[in-house]
């Protein structure tokens, strides 16, 4: 029997799984990455995790290792360039040490691309030819899987769809734009909108009570819980945020017209609350492009998506090397 190991390297945890050629998960392991202890310790920890997996699966031939890492990554150099969410990890070559240690090919993708490949292969993507995965959490990330491959731009760079401009009179973002998608529909954008609404409200709200009376403790998860519990202000905030989420999805459709859009990330666990407004806005734009042909689906693989997709990337590499 043969398998690859997929690794999902996040800011907090590193997860790993073994996958057979059909994408069945054969083993799973995870551990804190403790990035601040430095890249050398981190690479050692990842190596240990792979050994852990190999012990679990026993007499299986290891074909390769795929890594999906919190970005930015340099795929050509196999290097992680991310001192933001992995403190001290700047220009860290993770590929060579694993390649040398295990003697197999190692690939590196950013985590959004890995998750999209995972959903394409074994999740909500169903192997469709034109697939966009949108991840809404602390930021908004998107990956376009075209004919089974991640679409990349000039010199292999990753498009930054989460920063497309949808409201030129909107708030400034660190990306240089005003009113980009992420600044209007990410988790922090929803939290900020709710905090402002609570401060402006004439009477105390149940949302504020959920936050223990501390406005700054209101985050997107609390807003969703309050909205689900019937809080009118929270529902208003969700409706407004859903409109911006939908306008970004309209732009995905106007540019890429995919067969399916997969919605993942923490904020999308409450997609049912957003759905009525999202569907209504998308229908309203169904004049020039056939927006009704584009299916919206929640992601299926959850926290396994990155591991599964990182494994798929290795199988793609091996396929290409044949």
What is the binding site for a copy of itself (CB under 8 A)?
Answer: 130, 152-155, 157-161, 163-170, 174-177, 179, 243-244, 247, 250-259, 284-290, 293-294
* Cα–Cα dist 209/2, whole Å: 54
Cβ-based neighbours of 257, under 8 Å, separated by 6 or more? 130, 289, 290, 293, 294
User: Which CB sits closer to a copy of itself, 42 or 179?
Assistant: 179
Q: Least Å distance between CB 241 and a copy of itself?
A: 13
Nearer to a copy of itself, 105 or 137 (CB): 137
> Going by DSSP bridges, is the β-strand pair 106-110/61-69 parallel, antiparallel, or unpaired?
parallel
Nearer to a copy of itself, 292 or 322 (CB): 292
Closest Cα partner for 264 from 310, 213, 300, 228? 300
Q: With respect to a copy of itself, which residue has the nearer C-beta, 158 or 297?
A: 158
Q: Least distance (Å) from a copy of itself to the CB of residue 185?
A: 11
Cβ proximity of 211 and 193 under 8 Å: no
> In whole angstroms, what is the distance from residue 308 CA to residue 18 CA?
9
> 283 is written with which tokens?
């229908």
Do the Cβ atoms of 289 and 257 come closer than 8 Å?
A: yes
Encoding tokens for residue 272?
């049912």
Nearer to a copy of itself, 161 or 270 (CB): 161
Q: In angstroms, what CA-CA distances link 25 with 18, 175, 307?
A: 6, 37, 10
CB count within 10 Å of CB 174 equals 10
Residue 52 CB, nearest approach to a copy of itself (Å): 35
The minimum distance between CB 250 and a copy of itself, in angstroms, equals 6
Angstrom distance (rounded) from CA 143 to CA 55: 33
In whole angstroms, the minimum distance from the beta carbon of 287 to a copy of itself comes to 4
Vertex 157 angle, CA 151 and 163, to 5°: 85
β-partners of residue 62 are 3
Nearer to a copy of itself, 11 or 159 (CB): 159
**Toward a copy of itself, which CB reaches closer, 134 or 222?**
134
């Amino acid at each position: 029997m043969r398998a690859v190991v997929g690794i999902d390297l996040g800011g907090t945890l590193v997860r790993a799984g073994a996958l057979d050629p059909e994408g069945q998960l054969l083993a799973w392991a995870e551990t804190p990455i403790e990035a601040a202890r430095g890249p050398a310790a981190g690479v050692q920890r990842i190596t240990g995790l792979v050994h852990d997996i190999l012990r679990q699966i026993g007499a299986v031939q290891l074909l390769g290792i795929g890594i999906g890492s919190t970005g930015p990554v340099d795929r050509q150099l196999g290097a992680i360039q991310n001192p933001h969410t992995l403190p001290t990890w700047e220009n860290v070559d993770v590929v060579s040490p694993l390649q040398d240690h295990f003697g197999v090919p190692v690939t590196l993708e950013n985590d959004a691309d890995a998750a999209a490949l995972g959903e394409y292969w074994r999740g909500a993507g169903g192997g469709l030819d034109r697939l966009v995965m949108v991840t809404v959490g602390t930021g908004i990330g998107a990956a376009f899987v075209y004919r089974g491959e991640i679409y990349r731009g000039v010199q292999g760079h990753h498009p930054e769809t989460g920063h497309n401009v949808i409201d030129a009179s909107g708030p400034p973002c660190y990306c240089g734009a005003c009113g980009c998608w992420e600044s209007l529909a990410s988790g922090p954008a929803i939290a900020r909108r709710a905090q402002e609404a609570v401060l402006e409200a004439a009477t105390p709200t149940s949302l504020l009570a959920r936050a223990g009376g501390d406005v700054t403790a209101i985050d997107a998860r609390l807003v969703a819980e309050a909205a689900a519990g019937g809080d009118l202000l929270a529902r208003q905030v969700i409706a407004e945020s859903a409109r911006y989420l939908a306008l970004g999805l309209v732009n995905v459709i106007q540019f890429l017209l995919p067969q399916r859009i997969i919605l993942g990330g923490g904020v999308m666990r409450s997609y049912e609350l957003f759905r009525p407004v999202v569907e209504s806005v998308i229908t309203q734009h169904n004049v020039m492009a056939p927006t009704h042909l584009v299916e919206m689906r929640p992601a299926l693989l959850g926290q396994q998506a990155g591991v599964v997709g990182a494994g798929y990337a290795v199988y793609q590499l091996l396929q290409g090397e044949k």
